[in-house]
Structure 1
Amino acid sequence: MKKVIALAMSAAVIMSTLVGCSSSKPASTGTNGEQKATKNYNVAMVTDTGGVSDQSFNQSSWEGLQAFSKKTGSKVSYLESKQETDYNTNLDKLVDAENKLIWGIGFAMSDAILNAAKTNKDVSYAIVDNSYGDKTPENVTGVTFRAEEPSFLVGYIAGKTTKTGRVGFIGGIKSPVIDQFQYGYQAGVLYAAKELGKTINVDVQYAESFSDASKGKAIANKMFSAGCDIVFHAAGGTGVGLIDAAKEAGKFAIGVDRDQAYLAPDNILTSALKLVNVAVEKVSEEAMNGSKIGGKTYTYGLKDGAVGIPKENKNVKPEVYDAAIKLQDKIKDGSIVVPFDEKTYIDFTK
C-alpha cells in the first residue's frame, strides 16, 4: 500500500464532499477518553467478527467515531462481535444504552441492522458496505464505496511490479462487496499486462473469514510457494496473516481499507484505501445536527476523494506511480469504467 496513487484530497475536501473489544459492555470515550460530552447525543457501533483491532475497516470506523467525539464532545462506544450470533444481542444492548445513532460495520450485519431498525423505529441506524436500495427504512442509512476503483490501481501497480508474472488475491467471505476488490484488482493487473505485452496470472482464494489470521497466512504461503510475488487482500483481520507471510517470505503484500505500510514497511507494496473513518465521522455529525440521512445510501469513489492509494511508498517505482496517477484521472473522468463483478469483468476483458 504504498507509494502510490495520490489520494489527492485533503481532509477538508473529503469532509465537504461526503454528503451527507471483546467486551460485554460498551467501551465509551470522549476526547481521548477525557472530554465530557457537550451534547446529549450518543453514537455507538457494533463490529463484525473481525473486531475493532482488525487493522482494517472496523478499526477505521472506530477511529471515525473517535474523531467525531473529539470534534463534538459526544459520547461514543463500541461492542465487538465474536461471532455472527452476537450481532442482534449487541445491537439490543446499544439501544438499551440509549444511543441515538447505531452503526453496523460490514455487510454481514445487513439482516441484523434491518431487524433492529424495524423494532426500534425511534433509533437511527447506519451500516458500512451495504445498501438496501429502494427498500431502505427511513431510520437506516447505507454507506458504500466504489472499492473496485482503488483495487484497479493497486492491481495495475502489482502488474507493473511483479517479476514472476504471477500475483494473488485473498478474499475474506465471498460477497458483492468483496467482488469489487477482486475484479477491480484483476482488471488492473490485466491492464498492466496488456501494456507490457505479456500474460500475468492472478491466483484467487477465499478464506471464508475476516478474522482468521492463521488461515490468511496459510493461503498466502501457498501462493508465494506457487510463484506469486505480490498478493492483495480484502479480508480484514485475516489479511494480517498475509502480511506476516510476506515478511517471512520476503515478498510483497498489498493492504486494504487503510494504509497498512506501518505493519511491514519493507513488504507492503501499496494499499487500496477506503476512508470509512471519514464517512462515519461525517454521517454521524450530519445525524447529530438533525439532517435527514435515513432512507438512502451514500456511495463514494475516487471522484469524491473517498478512496484511493497512498501517495508515498519506497517500494513502488516512481514511473509506476506516475502511470497509476494518470489512470486515476481516467477513472475519474469516465474514460475507464472499472468492473465490479464477474459479468462486468468479462465485459471489460473484451
Structure 2
Amino acid sequence: MTAIRIGLPGALLVLLLVFASLVQASIKPAVAYTDGKKFDSSFNEAVFREGVSKFEGKYGIEVTEVNPSAVAEFEQSLRNLAEQGHSPIVAVGFSYADAVATVAAEYPALQFTIIDAVVNAPNVQSLTFKEHEGSFLVGALAAMKAERPVLGFIGGMDLPFIRGFACGYAQGAHHVDDDSQVLVRMMGDTPDVWSNPAMGAQYANALFTDGAEIVYAAVGGSGVGVYRAAKNAGKLAIAVDSSQNYLHLNTMLTSMVKRVGLAAFKSWEQAAHDRWRPGVHRLGLAEGGVDWALDIFNRQLVSLEMEARVNELREAVIEGDIEVVDYTVADHCPVPLVGL
C-alpha cells in the first residue's frame, strides 16, 4: 500500500475546505428587504451591498433574498422563508416588528434578526442604532458650512426614533452655533412615505423657501427626491443610511451612514461561527454602527479644518466628553426643533 503524503499547503487547503463545508452545513441565511426597491440608494441597497454581497463573497454561501411589495406581505414572506428552513432570517426595518414576533414564535428553533426595531423573543436578535450620535456630527458640520444658521430636517413617519435623528442633528448644530435654527418637517404617518421621491422633493423645496440652506433627510428611498431638489435649488443636502455623496456633485455635503449592511453581515457571520446571540444590540460611533462620510465626492465641500473639528467631536462623543441626548430615551430634545 502506497502512503499519500500531504504537504503543509495541501493540508491547509483540506482544512479550509472542511471548515467551509461545516459552515455551509450549519447556516442557511436569508434576508427580507423592506417594501420599496431593492436598489433604493438607502436601507435595502446598503444591506445588499455591504451585507449580502460581502457575506456571499467571503463564505461562498448564497443568501436567499425576498423583497415584498407591501407591509401586508411581510408576515407571509417571513413564514415562507422559515418553512424552507432558512436561518438566520434578517428582516430589514422597523415595519417588520409585528411579523417577526409572530413568525419567530411559530418557529422557535430558527434564528431571526430584525434591523431597527426591538422584538423581545428568545430566538430574535434586535439590532438598533444610536442615530443621534451620527446625526450630531452631521449637524455640527452643517452649522460649520452654513452662511446663516438656518438648517432643515425632513423625516419620513413621525416616530420617536426619527425624531431622534432630528434631535441629534439639532444638538450638533447648536454645539457649533447656539443661534442655529433647525426647521423640522415630517412627511406623513403611513409607510408609503419612505418610497415617494416626488413628495420628498416637495418637502425639501418648502424648507428651502423657508430659508433652510442645508437639508438633512431621514426618509428612506424618498431621499433621492430631496437631493435632486437641493441640486436644482443650488442648496446642500445630507443623506442617511448609506453614503450617497456620489449622487450630485457639489450638493451632497455628507451622509450619516448607518451600517445596516455590516449589521446584517455580522449576524450571518456570527451564526456561521456559532456565536449568534439573541437580545438587543445597540450600535453607535464606538461600535462602528454610525458615522459621517467623507470621500472624493464631497471633499471639495469640507475643508480640512471642518474635517478635523468633526473628528474631534466624534472622539469626544466616543470618550463620553460630549453627551448627545437620545430622544427615544429622554422623550424630549434639549434644543429647539422648530415645527415640532
TM-score of the pair, normalised by structure 1: 0.83
Q: Does 1:234 align with 2:218?
A: yes
Q: 1:306 aligns to what? A: 289
Q: How many residues align?
A: 306
**Structure 2: how far apart are the matches of 1:206 and 1:212?**
13
**Structure 1: how far apart are the matches of 2:259 and 2:129?**
9
Per-residue CA deviation, residues 152-184 of structure 1 (Å, 9 max, x unaligned), is 000011111112321110111122321221110
What SS is found at the alignment partner of 2:300? coil
Q: 2:186 aligns to what? A: 206
What SS is found at the alignment partner of 2:226? helix
User: Judging changes above 3 Å, is the alpha-carbon distance between structure 1 residues 38 and 325 closer, same or farther for their aligned structure 2 residues?
Assistant: closer
Out of 266, 275, 293, which is 2:250 matched to?
Answer: 266
| Structure 2, gaps ≥5 residues long | 1-20
Identity %: 30
Matches within 5 A, 1:135-174: 136-174=120-158
Please list every run of at least 4 consecutive aligned residues from structure 1 whose deviation after the TM superposition is greater than 3 angstroms. Answer: 342-349
Q: 2:170 aligns to what? A: 186
Give 1:46 shift.
Answer: 1.3
Give 1:307 shift.
Answer: 1.5
Q: 2:327 aligns to what? A: 341
Kept after mapping to 1: 8 A contact 2:127/2:281: yes
Matches within 5 A, 1:3-42: 39-40=24-25, 41-42=27-28
Pick the structure with greater CA Rg: 2
| Structure 1, gaps ≥5 residues long | 1-35
TM-score of the pair, normalised by structure 2: 0.85
Kept after mapping to 2: 8 A contact 1:181/1:340: no
Per-residue CA deviation, residues 212-249 of structure 1 (Å, 9 max, x unaligned), is 11110110011112211100011110111101101111
Q: 1:68 aligns to what? A: 55
AA of the residue aligned to 1:39: Q
Give 1:42 shift.
Answer: 2.1
Kept after mapping to 2: 8 A contact 1:148/1:339: yes
Q: 2:91 aligns to what? A: 104
What SS is found at the alignment partner of 1:259? coil
Q: 2:8 aligns to what? A: none
What SS is found at the alignment partner of 2:223? helix
**Structure 2: how far apart are the matches of 1:304 and 1:48?**
24
Kept after mapping to 2: 8 A contact 1:151/1:188: yes
Give 1:54 shift.
Answer: 1.7
Q: 2:304 aligns to what? A: 318
Q: 1:293 aligns to what? A: 277
AA of the residue aligned to 1:149: E
Give 1:348 shift.
Answer: 6.2
Kept after mapping to 1: 8 A contact 2:23/2:273: no
Kept after mapping to 1: 8 A contact 2:23/2:272: no
Out of 115, 118, 124, which is 1:128 matched to?
Answer: 115
Please report the RMSD computed on the Cα atoms of aligned residues, expressed in angstroms: 1.9
Which of 1 and 2 has higher RCO (CA within 8 Å, sep 6+)? 1
Q: 1:95 aligns to what? A: 82
What SS is found at the alignment partner of 1:143? strand
Give 1:344 shift.
Answer: 6.2
What SS is found at the alignment partner of 1:262? coil
Q: 1:276 aligns to what? A: 260
User: Judging changes above 3 Å, is the alpha-carbon distance between structure 1 residues 154 and 171 closer, same or farther for their aligned structure 2 residues?
Assistant: same
AA of the residue aligned to 1:270: T
AA of the residue aligned to 1:72: Y
Per-residue CA deviation, residues 111-150 of structure 1 (Å, 9 max, x unaligned), is 1111110011122100001123xxx211110111111111
AA of the residue aligned to 2:184: V
Give 1:346 shift.
Answer: 3.8
AA of the residue aligned to 1:201: Q
Q: Does 1:115 align with 2:102?
A: yes
User: Judging changes above 3 Å, is the alpha-carbon distance between structure 1 residues 58 and 151 closer, same or farther for their aligned structure 2 residues?
Assistant: same
Give 1:103 shift.
Answer: 1.0
The farther-off stretch of 104-113 and 311-320 is 311-320
**Structure 2: how far apart are the matches of 1:314 and 1:227?**
24
What SS is found at the alignment partner of 1:238? helix
**Structure 2: how far apart are the matches of 1:348 and 1:319?**
25
**Structure 2: how far apart are the matches of 1:250 and 1:289?**
50
Give 1:82 shift.
Answer: 2.1
